[in-house]
Chain A
C-alpha cells in the first residue's frame, strides 16, 4: 500500500535527465565551485527505516506479557533474527544516508545517490509543479518529513523526486525555496476536476464489504493471537461472557452482534475512506497529464498521460447504487499488473452519481453517457426492450440486449443459487433431521424472488452503444459497470459462445485493449447482430471476414456452427455454410 505511488511515477519517469558519473568522493572539495553545498538527509531517517520492527517486537512483548515474562527458545530465536535484521538494515540505511546528497542551485534541484555507481538526477526548477510534504506517523514521531517534488509530466520527462527524509523545519524551508522558482502559475491555471468533499463520507459504508471486513479483521486478530500463543477461547472472560450471554439470551445476543458488526464495519469503512482519499485532488496538470493525489498516512499520486487514457469506467456496486452513488476509474495503460491497476486506477472515490458523471466527462473530455437517462429507459423496460423511446436529450440511450438474455440470467440464478442450497438442505433433512426440511422450503421461498429480482436487474443493466469516439457498454448487477472506451484503442475482437448461448442465438463480444483490465466484455448480444456492431464500433478489424447472408435459405445452418464433415485442409468453409 505504501510504495505503489512512488513506483507509479518514479518507475516510469526517470527525471529530467540522468547522468552516471564516475564515483565522486562524497567529500569532494566543492568550495572551488560557485554552486551551493551538497546537503545531507536527516540521520533520523535511519530510525524510521527500522519502524517495521515494531510489529514483531510488539508481538514478542505480548507473548512475554501473556506467558508471564517467560521467554522460550522460539522467542529467543525471533529476538536474534530481529537483532540481525536491525544490524543489516541499519548498515544499509547508513550507507544510503551517507551517499545521498542534494542541493538547490539557481536553476535545478540536484540529487545524487548510489554506493558504487553514482547517479545524479537534476530537475529544472521551473518545471517543478508540486512540492508535497508527507510524513507517516513514524516520521512524525521522529520529527522528519518526506519531500516530493513533482514535475510537469509531459512525455516521459515527467516525474517525481523524493527526499527521504528531512527535518520538518528544513523540509518547509526547502519547499519554499523550490516553489519560489517553480512554475506554479502554470499549475494554478490547470483545471481541477474534483476535490474531496467530506459529505461523500456517507457513501463509505456502502462500499466497503462492511460485514466481511469485520470478519477478515477478526480472523487476522485471531491468527495473530494464535501465532503468539494466546487462545482467545480459553481466556476466562471470553468463556464467562459466552456462557452468560451467548447461551441464555440468544434472541438478544444475535441482533446485538449483528448491530455491532455493522457498526464496526461502517467505522472501518469510514476510516479506510479517510485514509485513502484524504486531500484527494484530481486535475489536469497540463493539457496532456491527468493526476490523482490522495492519502492521509500514505500519500499516493498517480499520473496518467492523456495518450494512455483509453477510457473511463463508472462503477456502481449494488449498495452504492441504492444510495445514489458511484465511483470512477480510469482505463489506462501502464498502471501495472491487474492488482496494481485496480489500486491505482481510481479517479473518484464513492461519491454522488452526478459528481461521478461530471468527473467521468472531465476525464474523458467528452460527454460521458448519462446514466439517469438510461435508468429512465430501463424503468419502462417492457417497451424499451422492443423499441427504445427516443432519448430526451442529445445523448442516445444504450441499446438493450435481446430478451432471451433475461431468461439466461434467471435460469443461471435459479440453477446456481436456489437449487444447490435447497437440495443440500432437503437432502440433509431427509437423511438426518427433519428440522432442516422447513429450512429448505424457507430457503427456496426466500431466495427465489431475490434471484429473480437480481436477474431482472442484471438484464436491465445490459446495454451497449456507440457515442462519438467511444464505445459504451454497461453490464453487471452486483456492480453495475458503465464503460466508455476509445474506439480506436480496441486491439482485437473476440466472439465467445457456449452450447447454451448458441442455442439462444447469443454471443459474448470481448474488446481487447492494451489498458486497464485488457479485456472488456459485452455479454449476450444477438449473434446475428454482434458482428455488425463490432465492425461499426472499431472499423477495419473484421470487415474482410463478414458475409451478407442470403435470405433464400431460411433453413441455412446457424452461422456459428461449422460443417462437421468436410474434406481436408486447406479448404473453404464459406461455400458449405450456404
Chain B
C-alpha cells in the first residue's frame, strides 16, 4: 500500500466482557460443534458395532468432515470473536464491531436511534451477560452489541437513551 494520507476507521475503544468467550463456546457446542461431534460419535460406534469393515475409510472421513471442523469452530470462533467484538459510544454516534469470519463495523448516529433493547438469553444469563440492540429506522442500521456484562449493558442502554435524547434528530 502506498502512504495513506486518508484517515482510517479505528476499532471501537471497548471490548466486550471476557466471559463472552465462554458464552460463545457454549453456543458453539449447542448449535454446531456439539451436534457434529455427536453425529461422528454415533456413526463411529454404529460402525464398530455393526460394520467393522467400514471403519478404515469411515474413520478418516468422519475426522475430516465432522470432528476437525467442529473442533476448529469450537476453538477458533470464540477467540476470534473476542478479538473482534468491540463497541464505543461517541458523542454523536454509536459504533460497534462484530463477527469473526465476516467482520462488520457499523456506525449509526445517535440522532437516528429509535429504541435501545437489552436482551438476556438463558445461556447469557448464566454468565451474567447481555446483548444490547440499538434500532434505527432502517433495519440495515440496527446495531447489536453482544456479550456485554449486565452492568455495562444497563449503563450503555441508559447512556444511549440519554444521548439520543440530547442529540436533536428526526429518527427517520
Spell out A's residues near B (CB within 8 Å).
333, 491-499, 502, 505, 510, 512-515, 518-519, 528-532, 535, 540-542, 544-549, 551, 559-560, 562-564, 566, 568-574, 577
Contact = CB atoms under 8 A, between A and B. Distances in A.
A544 B92 contact: yes
B7 interface: yes
Given A497-B103, A514-B138, A569-B18, A546 B13 contact: no
Interface stretch (B35-43, B48-56, B66-74, B107-115): B107-115
B101 A498 contact: yes
Interface in B90-142: 90-93, 95, 97, 101-109, 112, 136-141
B103 A492 contact: no
A501 to B, nearest CB: 9
A559 B10 contact: yes
A562 B105 CA distance: 12
Given A542-B107, A562-B86, A492 B136 contact: yes
A514 B172 contact: yes
Given A514-B172, A551-B3, A569-B17, A562 B11 contact: yes
Given A532-B6, A546-B7, A492 B112 contact: yes
Contacts of B18: 568-569
B143 interface: yes
- Give the most central of A562, A564, A571: most B CB within 10 Å: A562
A548 B139 CA distance: 31
A269 to B, nearest CB: 32
Given A492-B106, A495-B105, A569-B18, A531 B9 contact: yes
B7 A493 contact: no
Contact of A544 (B3, B14, B90, B172): B90
6 contacts: A494-B107, A542-B9, A544-B90, A569-B17, A570-B14, A573-B10
Contacts of A519: 138-140
Contacts of A572: 13
Contact of B90 (A530, A545, A573): A545
Nearest to B84: A562
A482 to B, nearest CB: 19
A491 B93 CA distance: 11
B8 A496 contact: no
Given A494-B140, A512-B108, 20 more contacts: A491-B112, A491-B136, A492-B108, A492-B138, A492-B140, A494-B106, A494-B107, A512-B140, A518-B139, A531-B6, A540-B109, A544-B93, A545-B107, A546-B10, A551-B3, A569-B17, A570-B14, A573-B12, A573-B86, A574-B10
Interface of B: 1, 3-18, 79, 83-84, 86, 88, 90-93, 95, 97, 101-109, 112, 136-141, 143, 172
Contacts of B103: 496-498, 502, 560
Contact of A577 (B3, B10, B12, B79): B10
Contacts of A514: 136-138, 141, 172
A502 B105 CA distance: 13
Contacts of B88: 545
A571 B14 contact: yes
Contact of B93 (A531, A542, A551, A570): A542
Nearest to B16: A569
Q: Main SS of the interface on chain B?
A: mixed
Contacts of B7: 531-532, 535, 546-549
A231 B19 CA distance: 62
A558 to B, nearest CB: 9
B11 A505 contact: no
B4 A528 contact: yes
Nearest to A531: B9
A518 to B, nearest CB: 4
Contact of A513 (B1, B105, B138): B138
A243 B100 CA distance: 58
A546 B8 contact: yes
A57 B53 CA distance: 61
B15 A566 contact: yes
A545 B112 CA distance: 17
Contacts of A564: 79, 83
B13 A574 contact: yes
Contacts of A502: 103
Contacts of B108: 491-492, 512, 541
Contacts of B102: 496-498
Contacts of A513: 138, 140
B132 to A, nearest CB: 14
A491 B140 CA distance: 9
B74 to A, nearest CB: 18
Nearest to A560: B103
A334 to B, nearest CB: 11
A544 B90 CA distance: 7
Nearest to B90: A544
A491 B104 contact: no
A544 B141 CA distance: 18
A493 B8 contact: no
Q: Which among A492, A542, A549, A568 has the greatest number of chain B C-beta atoms within 10 A?
A: A492
Nearest to A533: B6
Contact of B8 (A494, A498, A559): A559
A571 B10 contact: no
B101 A492 contact: no
Contact of A528 (B1, B83, B140): B1
Shortest beta-carbon contacts, A-B, top 7: A519-B140, A492-B141, A512-B141, A514-B137, A512-B140, A492-B108, A546-B7
Contact of A545 (B3, B95, B136, B172): B95
